Structure 1
Amino acid sequence: MSLLNLDYNLFQLINHLAVVYPFLNPIMRFLAQEGEYVFYVGIIFYWFTRKEQNRWMVIHSLVSACVALGISGLIGDFFYRDRPFVSHHVNQLIPHAMNASFPSDHATGAFVIATSIFLFRKQEGRAWLVLAAGVAFSRIWVGVHYPLDVLAGTLLGCGTAIAMYKWIPKWKMVANLLQQGLLVYEKMERRILPTKSPQ
């Protein structure tokens, strides 16, 4: 059995769960469509805690996400794969454009942010990784991605976050630019949102 056939068989197995366990479909729809916004809210929350470690974590997350999603776009152009609902009869629970399926941008984005958080905040990061896994799995459940799509997105997201975590401190010019950018932002922030002095 070829890898693609195995991939399709696994897709059918997971996608059919929408028929077997229909009471879970609203949760899967939410994760597949709105799950990514939970990550955005989380990143904004961490940023506005105004803690230096959290802000570096957010910067790392955003840089890593830009790199990972850029790579994902290139892969999609060079190794184009149709969505499952284009080539097969599926249980499609959400609307979706008929664009490239491989790799999954949702899985890439969720895992690059979750892994970035994990690298800085291990305990909370585990919960974010579980949420990322839920987002990735839901994309198969609702019929818009194959398992290989989300697996590739998962590996790309995790791998990019880990690589950036190791490499950014070694790239002195990039690290200095990010440091200077953060200092400029915080200087402006102090003018707009002055810290209350203790009474």
Structure 2
Amino acid sequence: MNTVSNISLSVLLSVFALLRSEGNLFIPLQAIDRSSTNSIVLTDIGEFGLLRNERPGIPAHYHTGIDIKRPSGNYINEPIFSIMEGVIISKRTDGPYAQLIIEHQDERGKFWTLYEHIAGIEVELYQPVTPDRPIARFMNTMELDKYGWQFDHFHFEVLKVAPIPLQKDRTKPERHFSSYTLVCYTREDLRKYFHHPLEFLSERL
């Protein structure tokens, strides 16, 4: 597998080309530079390692990924891509916490990426994926009106260690794993389980 050359920033910049939907017609608006992290815009509290305040039922913890704003005004079908070749190992489709986890292998070993607060999932469990075809999209206007506009981004993580196996749940039959999102109470925990996403991608471009 030509893994290093296959790694792409498409998941972060979110588009191979920005698209606009007009009925069934998709019109490319502009190409995105996928060779740099410079175009990535995070939410106000979307930085990696930011200490998130305690809230009901959730203790204070360090932010384990980055929250990426949509790169355009496309509120219909703004796509999200895998950063490189991999296999879907977990799929969750329930509302605003819809999530995919992908297992990857390169010359340095295995790692895992997570994509959360997504919609319109286009892949199946155990399906191989490539960085040139969408795996999902940002939430559209109707979904944001339903779930809340605080989800006008997607959460992206790069795990150093295998995600946590879950017991079978009939309500989420394809959700086989979870991340360490809410167990990083120290910076040591954070660095034990996660790569800094922007540093990780910059090193492997």
TM over 0.5: no
Question: TM-score interval w.r.t. the shorter chain?
Answer: under 0.3
TM-score, with length taken from structure 2: 0.26
- More helix by proportion, 1 or 2? 1
Q: Which has the higher contact order (CA 8 A, sep 6+)?
A: 1
- More strand by proportion, 1 or 2? 2
